[in-house]
Chain A
Amino acid sequence: MLRVTWLPGDDRLRGRCHCGAQAEADEPVAMWEWLLAHPDHPAGGPVSLDPPAARPPAHLVRST
């Protein structure tokens, strides 16, 4: 069982693997990446892949 809790009053997620390994993350994508890496959970904990600050992209519409 993989478990991710998000406690009241706390924006962080806490994940626990079935092997007992635990970690915290700022968002769920990094949390699942870390949990699903079992048995090789990255030692540094979950890493968010936030893109560098940039101008938000335009909303493109496919040509028909």
Chain B
Amino acid sequence: MTGCDPGHKLAGMTTAFVPNQWYVAAYTREIGRELFTRTVCGESILFWRTADGAVTAMSDRCVHRRFPLGEKPSHLVGDTVVCGYHGFTYGADGVCVAVPGQARVPRTARLRTYPVVEQDSFVWVFIGEPERAAATRIPRAPWLDMPGWTVVSGMEPLAARASLLVDNLLDLSHETYLHGGYIGTPEVAETPITTEVDEEAGIVHVSRRMADAACPPFYANSTGLTGRITRWQDIEFTPPCLYLLHSRIAPAGVLPNDDGTDPDAFHVEVVYAITPETASTTHDFWAVARDFALDDQDVSDYLAASNRTVVLQDVAALDVLEQVISGEPDGYQELSINIDTGGLAARRMIARMRG
């Protein structure tokens, strides 16, 4: 049942970034007519909306003396960014259109720009060779921007490498111990999982189906269910960065109909976008979409507060783990058991993508 894995020592874990991928940089609501910066995969990027509403993404350093363009007194004037240090002015295409004191603008005065797409309430940015962006899939989380669903969401900074969050989310047995009293019950850790790797689609699936489980407060207080429940946790992870947890909650023994309809269950789509900030820090985007109590603000407030608490429990644990790992000599060994089957599959897929 147990085994040391010489193949997944720290040296083999994901510490660098997977290139040529779309990553979530922000929620669409975060980007407006104010300059906004976020570091993605070690690249500091400036975001803003043009007057017609399009999101632009470009390097956050003036080519002149490297002053951050997202730093005041840098500012927008129409559809240009004016550097707050010497006034170098850039258009939405990153090209410098004005410099102080002279008419000639050096041809090399332009900022790196990034392909950017707004989808499913996220702003996605392509990190890598821009010509590869169009042919690279952007994974979907449609419930975040779909009629019939209500969403709460947030983002927490994580002072730990992204691979630790991938490990965390692919093995939900930790809910029993780290998140007891919120989403964890004994049945989560006790219930075996099924893991599938769809190499063609590039997706890792981990399924845990609990037929008769206690209802944790997170679901009891949001659904109103008070007795035992049937609880399904179906993970769909698209490496390197988008994690979906299809959560189904119903009174114990209530299953979907033969035709696939499922009117007597509550469905929650828990979405995480795992965006490396640096090699040892991560943007932990989280969202919870539900198909019940759509207009109930109390339920929204409860789920938002509870899920943020759960995320912060993970953040506290992973921040400590990052400190431990970064303080250890390279090459320590871990021990993996059955619960780690999905996490190991995700690691291998990410390692292959990294090349």
Contacts and interface: CB of A to CB of B under 8 A. Distances in A.
Interface of A: 1-8, 10-13, 18, 26-33, 36, 48-51, 57, 59-62, 64
A7 B194 CA distance: 8
Given A1-B196, A31-B341, A26 B329 contact: no
B5 to A, nearest CB: 4
Contacts of B340: 28
B348 A49 contact: no
B328 A27 contact: no
A3 B336 contact: no
A5 B194 CA distance: 5
Contacts of A26: 1-3
A33 to B, nearest CB: 7
Contacts of A7: 192
A29 B199 CA distance: 18
A26 B4 CA distance: 12
Contacts of A29: 3-5, 7-8, 336, 344
Interface residues of B, number: 30
Chain A to chain B: the 10 pairs with minimum beta-carbon distance, closest first: A27-B3, A29-B5, A28-B341, A6-B192, A2-B197, A48-B3, A11-B1, A4-B195, A3-B196, A5-B194
Most buried by A among B5, B328, B332: B5
B6 interface: yes
A30 B6 CA distance: 11
Nearest to A3: B196
Contacts of B332: 60
Given A11-B1, A33-B7, A27 B337 contact: yes
A13 B348 contact: no
B338 interface: yes
B296 interface: no
A2 B8 CA distance: 20
Interface in B313-355: 327-329, 332-333, 336-338, 340-341, 344-345, 348
Scoring B3, B6, B348 by chain A CB atoms within 10 A of each residue's CB, the highest score goes to B3
Contacts of B191: 8
Given A26-B1, A29-B336, 18 more contacts: A2-B196, A3-B196, A5-B194, A6-B341, A12-B1, A26-B2, A27-B2, A27-B337, A27-B338, A28-B3, A28-B336, A29-B8, A31-B341, A33-B7, A36-B348, A48-B3, A62-B327, A62-B329
Contacts of A2: 196-197, 199, 345
B341 A4 contact: yes
